[in-house]
Each structure stands twice: as C-alpha cells, then as structure tokens.
Amino acid sequence: MKRNRMTAVCLAAASLFLVSACGGSGDGASSAQDQSSSSGKIAFLLPESKTAQYETQDRPWFFKNMEQLCPDCEVLYSNAEQDAQRQQQQAEAALVNGAKVIVLDPVDSKSAAAIAAQAHSRNVPVIAYDRLILDADIDYYVSFDNEAVGALQGKWLVDNTEPGSTIVMINGSPTDNNAGLFKSGAHQEIDASDLMIGREYDTPDWSPDKAQREMEQAITALGANSIGGVYAANDGTAGGAIAAMVAAGVDPLPPVTGQDAEVAGLQRILVGTQGMTVYRSIKQQSMAAVQLAVALLRGEEAPADLEFTDVDNGFEQVPSVLFTPVAVTRDNMAKTVVADGYWTAEDICTAEYADACVQAGIK
C-alpha cells in the first residue's frame, strides 16, 4: 500500500499489557487504510521473520492483493517474532481494534486454537494461513501440499546421495504443524531407500543458529567425512548446516536440501553448496487468502475459481485450498522463481554470483 494511504493505529490496552506499535510490524498493527473505511478491517498475523519469506514475500503480497481486490479494506498487520504469547496479544489487539476477519499464520499450531476460539466468540471468522491451526473451529485453511514438499526434498536427496550413505536430518520447529508434514513426506522417500539416518533433530523456532549447532553435534558424533547427505527442512536451516560443515573442513560438501526459495539459498544452489530448494508461490497463496478474507468480510460465498479439499485439524474437516510445490535446482531456477517474478535476476545475481547466473541461464 502507498505510504500516503497508511494510517497509524495506536491502541493502549492495559488489560493486555500491550501497546500497539504505530505503523510498525511488531506488537502493533500497521494499517493499510483510514479507519473510516466502510469495507472493514482484516487482521494479517505472521509468526516470525527469521524465515525471510514472511517479510519479503508474504507481507507485501498480502497488501498488494488486498489493494487489488478490496482497496477500501484496512489491513491490521503484526509479526509475532516467534513468540506465541505475543501473537495471542496481537490477535487480541486486532479484535479490540475492530478486525472483522483474522488471517493467521500461527507460531504454535496448537496454542493458536485459543486465538480462533476468542475470534469466534466475537463472530469473527478465522483463516489459517500457511500453517494449519489444530484442534480448533476455523473457517478456511490456505497453504500448500506440505507433505509433498517433504517428499520432493526426500526424493531429491535419495536421488543425489551415494547409495548406502549416512545422512543427517535437520527438521523444522516442533511447534509448526507444517514441519511435521515436511518430515513425514521426507521420511516416506528416505525410509524406502538404503540411506541410513545417523542423526535427526527438530529445530526450535526454525533457527539457523540452532541448526548449525545441531549439525556440529552430528559431525562430532558421526565424523566430518562420514556424512553423505543432509536433509534440511528449509533454506535457513540449510544455511546453518552448511556453515557448520564448512567450519569443520568438510570438503566436498555433501548434497543438502532446502525450502522457501530464499535468495541466499538460491545463491548457494548456483555455486553448488546447496543442492535444491522448494518453491511455494506466495503470490498464489496470498491471493487465495485475500479472496477468502474479502468474501467473509462481505458475507459472500467463497470464490468459484478456488478448488477446495478437506483437511482434518483434529477438531473438524476444514475447507482448504492447497497449492502444489515445485522443486528448484540450478537447472530450472530461471524457468521457475525468476520467470514467475518471485525474485528478479538482479536480486539473485549480485557480483559474487554473476558468473554462476550466466551459466544457469539467468538474465
């Protein structure tokens, strides 16, 4: 949204021990429209910023898509910085501030049920975005086939790792339902192969630093030259694992997976320190979430162009829109993330990676 169309939304909520930050991305809500908007307010709550895509892709695309579909809507935005209690407070602030729909990407898929319950007690519908909210009554779920994400990663690792090798698995956060789906999909491929899992970790908060420490532990336990491949659940954990191996003198580096198509991950793929990533079109996911949020706000039926399936969240079968992920390597990078405009050649091909971009056909 253009700066001159944004207003500060400041709310002192003593009962919540919270002050909403004016126009920022912390505990407060950044507003996309004037409070006099007749179309109502939609809260968009993201879980963290260590995963680069949330601030570089999810946030801007949500605002852009909302501007296209409902220019008079007001978006109340907050990022919880991986703090579930903080996200609870942000949701409460959004409700007090008049949110009529909540689009929520939960820090903790289980504890977010309390947010959904509180919203529904005020007749405010809830859309689970990216990550499913468990054991709760929610209206819609918009994401990708996340078990398929793990299967893409696992299959690539099996296909590109020396048969019979010992691998290390660095999974995502145990509080993120998606991480369990990624792990499940990856295990389906890995467990059916002759690869041996030497060490496996769940990485709190998706932290690259914690992933680096996990990889250091694996190297100590298995030996620097005994690791044939690394399953890293996303590009951030891949970066941490690779840093640990480089520091330990592992050369050549074994095959390493990733996910999210972050610029740093794509650049590592170009120079061969990371093997692959998984591209999930945030533009596509965000547009579906905005379409549903606007429909709920207006009391309309779901858009006819969205295809639904039912997903069990432990409480009910949730009407869900699940998109298809795409594996990205050096061979198809130009035809996927660059061709789709997810990143431009200028974003990826900085001076250090210019030659590798030419070799990969990225212009």
- Please return the burial class of 143, using the count of CB atoms within 10 Å of its CB with bins 0-12, 13-18 and 19+: buried
For the chain, what percent of residues have pLDDT higher than 70? 90
Report CA torsion sign: 301, 302, 305, 308: negative
Q: What is the pLDDT of residue 24?
A: 41
Q: What is the pLDDT of residue 362?
A: 97
Q: How confident is the model at residue 3 (pLDDT cuts 50, 70, 90)?
A: very low
Q: Is the pLDDT of residue 161 over 70?
A: yes
Q: What is the pLDDT of residue 209?
A: 97
What average pLDDT does the segment 72-92 reach? 97
Q: What is the pLDDT of residue 7?
A: 34
What average pLDDT does the segment 239-243 reach? 98
Q: What is the pLDDT of residue 16?
A: 35
Q: What is the pLDDT of residue 50?
A: 87
For the chain, what percent of residues have pLDDT higher than 90? 88
pTM of the entire structure? 0.86
Q: Is the pLDDT of residue 309 over 90?
A: yes
Q: What is the pLDDT of residues 114-131, one digit of tens each?
A: 999 999 999 999 999 999
Q: What is the pLDDT of residue 5?
A: 29
Residues 6+ positions from 256 with CB-CB distance below 8 Å? 229, 230, 232, 238, 241, 242, 273, 274, 275
Q: Is the pLDDT of residue 227 over 90?
A: yes
Interatomic CA distance for residues 259 and 277, integer angstroms: 4
C-alpha angle 286-289-295 in degrees, rounded to nearest 5: 140
Q: What domains, with CATH codes, occur in the chain?
A: 3-144+281-323 (3.40.50.2300), 146-279+326-359 (3.40.50.2300)
Q: Is the pLDDT of residue 27 over 90?
A: no
Beta-sheet pairing, 29-31 with 74-79: antiparallel
